[in-house]
Structure 1
């Protein structure tokens, strides 16, 4: 990880969470991204604070830096969504999630999804013809929405990184995507 220290200076990364997100995912991703020098913001449909899930019960509250309803993809260079079925289902039920994520996907900006988070993009119709890591329990949903499940526990499909774990390997691949993203080339195409 020391190779990435300050590598993302000047980059803005959103961590999209709703009540019930997996606390260990968010905290490890947040810490690792801060170490890269990225400006990390917690974006949430909840106002003020968002409650995590830790182990078998509710975890800590975290301050939400930005409200989902007023956040736009062009405010950020990249977005990451931790796992956690409670928050995944909450995000799917909020139409602002699809709007926010559509901006990232249409601009081909870096997106990282952990565990069951690909379900969010699948339900929004944003994974057609994409290959992603998928937990076994959501593979049928992804297939119905036109996505293919990858064999590996971490998979990169252009600027989309999907992983079973919120770990250093995910952050490294995600950072590589952020560093290689060229908005001018994408807009000119």
Structure 2
């Protein structure tokens, strides 16, 4: 079974985080949520989530993917945490998946993971960072190798389904998506 780490920072976008966790778990993926510090984490709209563990405790385990939810100031807090950037670099160096949505692709960019790649983000983040070696794509979800990015709360379901496909294959994605009743029968 694939294992995914979802770090949660104060001010994360709850729709993105919960959608990612929920859909991955529906696909049979083991998802671990980790707060940057001990205790509950307050999201951007005031929802309070109790993470499974702390980031310090989670760093001692192996994962197939690390996914960053966006939201502000959550993405800013992730970007300011050297443990997050170090983890992302180690994941990339090991040939494992990294993903980020909304404002969080800026963390991937700051960690050097978007260099030479196509990516997307919430408007005003990656597209305005002046990164000459990143091709910004105005699409809901962009996968370039083992890096998957997405635009925002409205694309969270498509993003999570893409994560499922990357980890468990197209058939598992179709199975999960069919049960969501996203399309007319």
Q: Would you say same fold, with TM above 0.5? A: yes
TM-score, normalisation: structure 1: 0.79
Aligned residues: 166
Alignment RMSD (CA, Å): 1.9
The answer for unaligned runs of 5 or more in structure 2 is: 170-185
Counterpart in 2 of 1:122?
Answer: 109
For residue 84 of structure 1, report the CA deviation from its aligned partner. Answer: 0.5
For residue 36 of structure 1, report the CA deviation from its aligned partner. Answer: 0.7
1:37 and 2:28 aligned: yes
TM-score, normalisation: structure 2: 0.81
Counterpart in 1 of 2:91?
Answer: 104
Higher strand share: 1
Kept after mapping to 2: 8 A contact 1:46/1:64: no
Aligned equivalents of 1:107, 1:120: Cα separation in 2: 18
Kept after mapping to 2: 8 A contact 1:131/1:150: yes
Aligned equivalents of 2:121, 2:142: Cα separation in 1: 10
Aligned equivalents of 2:136, 2:60: Cα separation in 1: 26
Kept after mapping to 1: 8 A contact 2:119/2:135: yes
- Equivalent residue for 1:25, pick from 16, 19, 23: 16
1:149 and 2:124 aligned: no
The answer for unaligned runs of 5 or more in structure 1 is: 1-9, 181-189
Q: How does 1:73-92 map to 2 (within 5 A)?
A: 75-92=62-79
Aligned equivalents of 2:131, 2:72: Cα separation in 1: 19
Counterpart in 1 of 2:163?
Answer: 174
